[in-house]
Amino acid sequence: MSRIRFTRRLPAAVAAAGLALAVAACGGESSTSPEGTTVAKAELKANADLTQQSLQITVWEGYTPKELPEKAKEKLKVKDVKIGFHDTNETAMAKLTSSGDSGIDVAFVSGQYAQALNEQGLLEPIHPELIPNLANLYPEATQLAYDKGNKYSVPYTWGTTGICYRSDLVKTPPTSWNDILKPPAWADKKVTMMTTERWLALPALKALGYSVNSDNDQEIAKAKELLLAAKPHLLTYDDTTFGDKLKSGEALMVEAWDGWCPTSEKNIKFVLPKEGSDLWVDTMVIMKTSKNKEAAHALINYILDPEIHSWAAENINYKVPNKAAMERVQVPEGSLLGIKPAELLNGEVIVDLGPSSTKYTRLSSEVATQS
């Protein structure tokens, strides 16, 4: 089973650009483009001639099968399928918002970014009649807070954030976010936390009993105070190589997305802190500027085929919100792939906070610069 690296971060500059575009929030049967023109919901044909349509996709590298373009082209009978890659959500947002027409038909972004794109009027509403494989989704996957009913996005993978740790080196297994925010002496400077804005704040907000989507100034200020107090006791902030630091023993406990915690290693375990955590979701969206909307829907339907969608769980160790696909996957005992949808939904879905997003940009910057 391969392991790859993705990040979901959105830096300040891109967040600010996105917020500027977010002024024209819209939805339903028509919407307003970034240029200020009203765009009607497209009338799509279930029997459209896909041989006249091509597809351009942007996705994290390694997040879909390498042979996806060739197989999808053959299966869907489209003219062509091309894939471009982004390494982070901010790269994807830059691609999708920097011009009126990015040329991209289908984009993979995290749920709160799909929400932001929709609020900017950039997404085509999902036409469920063109995606019969939506029926394969778990019922819980249709009730996600950023897009209830999958009106403009289709979930691709989902998971949560917790503490990944070396069970053979810790004196006491962690149970609380305070175990990394206020590490005991034996773990001092052997703990890492994430630096990505929303996930940097998550442990402190949860430890204090607040929502991961809080926009309350006093709550965010208290979270900042806790994060600054924790900073001298950290090994480092790390969004990408914390698993390697655990394997080497350089770190004993790390904040981690579940799919990135290398639990295939005998002595590495994952725990959801008692204060609770999040539910993150990566999604597929169709751009309103796409000239190949029927083919874009056909591609998403193809990806939701259990044989295709189960690839993500089998190859990148991420759970997929597709009941029929997960039933094909052999889940090793104790694997994080075994977390049930109902358990995932105990976590708070991270949503886009609109103008309040800058509060987290400021928090991240202040924690990074203050000693």
Do residues 335 and 362 share a domain?
no
Burial class (CB in 10 A: 0-12, 13-18, 19+), 100: exposed
Is 43 within a domain?
no
Same domain, 182 and 132: no
164 with 246: CB under 8 angstroms?
Answer: yes
Looking at the domain assignment, is residue 21 inside a domain? no
In a domain, 307, yes or no: yes
> Per the structure block, which two tokens stand in for 282?
């990566």
Residues 249, 312, single domain; the answer is no
Nearest to 160 by CA among 301, 290, 337, 357: 337
pLDDT band for 371, please (50, 70, 90 cuts): confident
Domain-located, residue 5: no
In a domain, 44, yes or no: no
Q: Is the pLDDT of residue 153 over 60?
A: yes
pLDDT at 331 over 90: no
318 lies in the same domain as 173: no
Please say whether the beta carbons of 243 and 3 come within 8 A.
yes
Region 207-230: mean pLDDT is: 98
The answer to whether position 59 is within a domain reads: yes
Q: Is residue 232 part of a domain?
A: yes
What pLDDT is recorded for position 34? 42
**Averaged pLDDT score across all residues of the chain:** 88
Are residues 332 and 358 part of one domain? no
Instruction: Report, as an integer, the average pLDDT of 209-222.
Output: 98
> Which pLDDT score, from 0 to 100, does residue 317 have?
86
**Interior angle at CA 243, CA 239 and CA 245, nearest 5:** 95
Residues 215 and 306 in one domain: no
Range of the domain at 292: 54-158+280-347
Helix (H) or strand (E) holding 157: strand 154-159
pTM over 0.95: no
- Is residue 295 domain-shared with residue 147, that is, in the same domain? yes
Return the pLDDT at 259: 86
Query: In the prediction, which pLDDT does 81 show?
Result: 97
The reply to whether 154 falls in a domain is yes
User: Which CATH number belongs to the domain containing residue 316 in this structure?
Assistant: 3.40.190.10
Percent of the chain with pLDDT over 70: 89
Exposed, middle or buried: residue 227 (CB in 10 Å: 0-12, 13-18, 19+)? Answer: buried
Q: What is the pLDDT of residue 14?
A: 35
Tens digit of pLDDT for each residue in 281-328? 999 999 999 999 999 999 999 999 999 999 999 998 899 999 999 999
Q: Classify residue 263 as exposed, middle or buried by CB count within 10 Å of its CB (0-12, 13-18, 19+).
A: buried
Examine the pLDDT at 200 and tell me if it is beyond 90: yes
Mean pLDDT highest for which of 93-102, 256-265, 301-310? Answer: 301-310
**Average pLDDT of 178-197?**
96
| Contact criterion met (CB below 8 Å) for 55 and 80 | yes
Residue 333: pLDDT over 90? no
pLDDT tens digits for range 56-84: 999 999 999 999 999 999 999 999 999 99
Sorting pLDDT into bands at 50, 70 and 90, what band is 3?
very low
Q: Total structural domains in the chain? A: 2
Both 343 and 291 in a single domain?
A: yes
Q: Are residues 136 and 122 in the same domain?
A: yes
User: Would you tell me how many other CB atoms lie within 10 Å of the CB of residue 98?
Assistant: 10
* Residue 21 in this model has a pLDDT that exceeds 60: no
Q: What is the DSSP string of 236-276?
A: EE-SSSHHHHHHHTS-SEEEEEGGGS-TTSTTEEEE--TT-
Q: What's residue 7's pLDDT? A: 57
Specify whether 252 is located in the same domain as 330: no
Residues 165 and 274 grouped into a single domain: yes
- Distance between CA atoms of 105 and 85, rounded to whole angstroms? 13
Do 149 and 286 lie in one domain? The reply is yes
pLDDT band at residue 370 using 50, 70 and 90 as cut-offs: confident
Mutual angle of helices 217-230 and 197-207, in 10-degree steps: 100
- Give residue 271's pLDDT: 95
With H, G, I as helix, E, B as strand and everything else as coil, classify residue 312.
Answer: helix
